[in-house]
Structure 1
Amino acid sequence: MKTVPLPTGFRIELDPDARQLSDGLWFGGSPARVLRLTAAGRKAWQELETGPVASAAAGALARRLTDAGLAHPIPPELDGEPDVTVVIPVHDRTELLERCLAGLDGKYPVLVVDDASLDAAGVAAVVAKHGAKLVRREENGGPGAARNSALDHVGTDLVAFLDSDCVPTPGWADRLAAHFADPLLAAVAPRVRPLAPDTTAGRYTRAAGSLDLGDRPARVAPGTRTSYVPTAALVARRSALTAVALDGAVFDPALRVGEDVDLVWRLHEAGHRVRYAPDIHVHHHEPATWPGLLGRRARYGTSAAPLAKRHPGSLAPLALHPWPALTVGALLARRPLLAAVAFGGSIGSMVRLLRAHDVPADGVVRAMASAVEQTWLGCGRYGTQFAAPLLAALLVRRGWGRRAAVASLLLGPPVTAWAKQRPGLDPVRYTAAAIADDIAYGAGVWAGCLTHRTSEPVRPALVRRPLRFDPKGER
């Protein structure tokens, strides 16, 4: 298939993890890969390194790098006002709706869909106060169904979805709309920052909000570092939404939770691009109490099973590479000799793979050590989410070695996260909160599995291909 170049005027920025191994040889991306450039590709890289895309060759290379996650696009300035309608679904919560509408700058038409609110008059009064258009649904169908109703009344090229419990920052829609200079882009999402009170639950949420996907830009696709974006705040191309509609419905009305993930994955499967742009922020109201926070995490978990049935293979909770997994398993079983042999095997296997593709093997030991660490942390979160009762039972059994191994799985991920972030909570309360968070989410996943009679959301995936290699001379 012919590559559609990134258009003239776009710049790119390298991903922080991208490394130039030698002239024309790059490593990085998500999933990790090695990209080798031809002489023409190296010339195109020189153009991208010093300025925006100005040639077809540079545009093709920019597309290749941004699709692989080795780099991220920076769009040119907007040429005129974008054609945008802001869509806000709401079910009661008039105070939050008031705050949301007050945060808009009034540049674009706003359509509020009342999803059968009990206080219909209150919602209508807030909408009228801010000069927005109101569409009323008589039967509550959830946010996805409400957005579908809105799309029947939208005629603009772009749709800016915004939840009623969000507060936008100035210029958020303009800056996201600039990305649509790329004809392949279907949707782009900002970073959703938690707007939480100064309670223990609120401070934890500010450090580990479930909708906050971090500060690193990304192409959004299953199996990558950023596998989805929420529609709490999202700008989308209306024609792309229509193209992936199911029986006329853009959002699956059967999904009360996870309808945004389903839409993003359908857009990806159709060949569109979806991007995450964390340099643009929108704030999101968060629960003030632990019951509210953990209850919402459990509801999010219930979406895993229906999503897994709609998108088989896209929702593995844990990806295991054979050698690092064997190393971690041996360490947890207190078999240091076996762990050393497995770690040596991982190094040897990777060195042979790299040499077979004429790639320098510098830094392999550190890379494999990092892979072992990530496997250990991944196993810890997986165990906490889906096997917490088993871990608790093992903790009370005799044997300090066994207890230490289990405690490392239970405590390792939250303690590591606390050390990296240094949030506004002490390590003990942060660790307890993170464990409760994972258990609540896992309970929701198990409940969804039982309802939909599937085990896919709790089955780890074995990854046999640790590194991708683009064919020699492809660019």
Structure 2
Amino acid sequence: MTQALPRTISLVIPAYNEEAYLPACLDAVMRNVASKALEIIVVDNNSTDGTKQVIERYPAVTYVFEPHKGITRARQAGLLNASGDIVAYVDADTVPPPGWIEQIARHFEADSTLACLSGPYSFYDLSGIRDRISTGWFITARPLYALTGYMMVGGNFAMPRAILHRMGGFDDSIEFYGEDADIAKRAKKFGKVLFSPSFVMPTSGRRLKKQGLLKMAGLYFINYLSIVFRSKPATRGYQDVR
């Protein structure tokens, strides 16, 4: 009996004006991910700062330019340039930890029905109580996940490339809020959407610090519910935080 070959993993990192955060992200990727990934793709989403120059310092990284600004457009450009069986996504202000890509490989190898793997953030630049409150959101949201069967965060997920194509890729009519819930909801039609508490991604809490914990919790909650019940986000506008 022929043994199936391990599935290959492409990592995609969208980046818009991320020269300040991208170096730490790529340093972590080189330490903890690159040796086990088929390719590392950074999508420059029409940056006007030194993002391209940062990427050029990492010869192992494939540079992709997406001229139309928007996170869903950048994710789609990454998908169209990826060749791995699994496409994993992180944000430019994340720091992928040791064992992260190994978890992806194990989960997809163990469960052939898995359509999407995601997990919570931890916030490396929020102190004490703010970090605990922010991370606690993922615990309070678990009843919603139990009811709907899907939940994910856009800066920490992986999906089979074939499923991403079958579901039509990313919805570029969604500018920002609700894009992760939309992906998870559509992925659910093709298999299990697993939100694993141990699949943790350290990320910056810059948006929470800039716009406030309560405001951000409210925006994410109302847009999640809007995707669940209306299949479109409640909020169109968003603020770039750099």
Which residue of 88, 94, 119 maps to 1:166? Answer: 94
Separation (CA, whole Å) in 2 of partners of 1:164 and 1:237:
21
- Tell me the secondary structure at the aligned position of residue 83 of structure 2: coil
Return the offset for 1:300.
3.0
CA RMSD of aligned residues (A): 3.2
Which residue of 51, 55, 80 maps to 1:152? Answer: 80
Separation (CA, whole Å) in 2 of partners of 1:243 and 1:159:
14
- Tell me the secondary structure at the aligned position of residue 55 of structure 2: helix
The amino acid that maps onto 2:62 is K
Separation (CA, whole Å) in 2 of partners of 1:240 and 1:179:
16
Return the offset for 1:98.
0.8
What is the 5 A alignment of 1:85-124?
85-104=10-29, 105=32, 106-107=34-35, 108=37, 109-119=39-49, 122-124=50-52
What is the 5 A alignment of 1:244-323?
244-245=167-168, 250-255=169-174, 256-268=176-188, 270-287=189-206, 290-294=209-213, 296-297=216-217, 299-300=219-220, 303-304=223-224, 306-308=226-228, 310-311=230-231
Structure 2 residue aligned with 1:19: none
Change (3 A) 1:91 1:296: farther
Separation (CA, whole Å) in 1 of partners of 2:224 and 2:10:
30
The C-alpha deviation readout for 1:386-422, integer Å capped at 9, x for no partner, is: xxxxxxxxxxxxxxxxxxxxxxxxxxxxxxxxxxxxx
The C-alpha deviation readout for 1:326-381, integer Å capped at 9, x for no partner, is: xxxxxxxxxxxxxxxxxxxxxxxxxxxxxxxxxxxxxxxxxxxxxxxxxxxxxxxx
The amino acid that maps onto 2:133 is A
Separation (CA, whole Å) in 2 of partners of 1:118 and 1:209:
30
Separation (CA, whole Å) in 2 of partners of 1:193 and 1:207:
9
Return the offset for 1:258.
1.0
Separation (CA, whole Å) in 2 of partners of 1:243 and 1:80:
22
Query: Is the CA contact (8 Å cut-off) linking 1:215 and 1:278 kept in structure 2?
Result: no
| Identity score, percent | 22
The amino acid that maps onto 2:96 is P
Change (3 A) 1:288 1:219: closer
Change (3 A) 1:117 1:176: same
Separation (CA, whole Å) in 1 of partners of 2:140 and 2:221:
24
Separation (CA, whole Å) in 1 of partners of 2:102 and 2:144:
20
Return the offset for 1:228.
1.0
- Tell me the secondary structure at the aligned position of residue 48 of structure 2: coil
Return the offset for 1:126.
1.4
- Tell me the secondary structure at the aligned position of residue 52 of structure 2: helix
- Tell me the secondary structure at the aligned position of residue 213 of structure 1: helix
Which residue of 199, 217, 242 maps to 2:165? Answer: 242
The amino acid that maps onto 1:92 is N
TM-score of the pair, normalised by structure 2: 0.80
Return the offset for 1:191.
3.0
Return the offset for 1:80.
7.0
Query: Is the CA contact (8 Å cut-off) linking 2:208 and 2:216 kept in structure 1?
Result: no
Change (3 A) 1:173 1:267: same
The amino acid that maps onto 2:93 is D
Separation (CA, whole Å) in 1 of partners of 2:66 and 2:94:
21
Separation (CA, whole Å) in 2 of partners of 1:156 and 1:92:
26
The amino acid that maps onto 1:171 is G
Which residue of 82, 97, 106 maps to 1:178? Answer: 106
Which residue of 131, 137, 147 maps to 1:206? Answer: 131
Return the offset for 1:97.
0.9
Query: Is the CA contact (8 Å cut-off) linking 1:82 and 1:174 kept in structure 2?
Result: no
Change (3 A) 1:118 1:241: same
Return the offset for 1:210.
5.9
Separation (CA, whole Å) in 2 of partners of 1:135 and 1:285:
24
The C-alpha deviation readout for 1:175-222, integer Å capped at 9, x for no partner, is: 122111211111111332122243xxxx34311216862499x89956
Larger Rg: 1
The reply to whether residue 84 of structure 1 matches residue 9 of structure 2 is: yes
Work out the number of aligned pairs and report it. 225
Structure 2 residue aligned with 1:69: none
TM-score of the pair, normalised by structure 1: 0.43
Unaligned runs of 5+ in 1: 1-78, 316-444, 452-475
The amino acid that maps onto 1:96 is Y
The C-alpha deviation readout for 1:428-474, integer Å capped at 9, x for no partner, is: xxxxxxxxxxxxxxxxx6xx49x9xxxxxxxxxxxxxxxxxxxxxxx
- Tell me the secondary structure at the aligned position of residue 103 of structure 1: helix
Separation (CA, whole Å) in 2 of partners of 1:309 and 1:219:
16
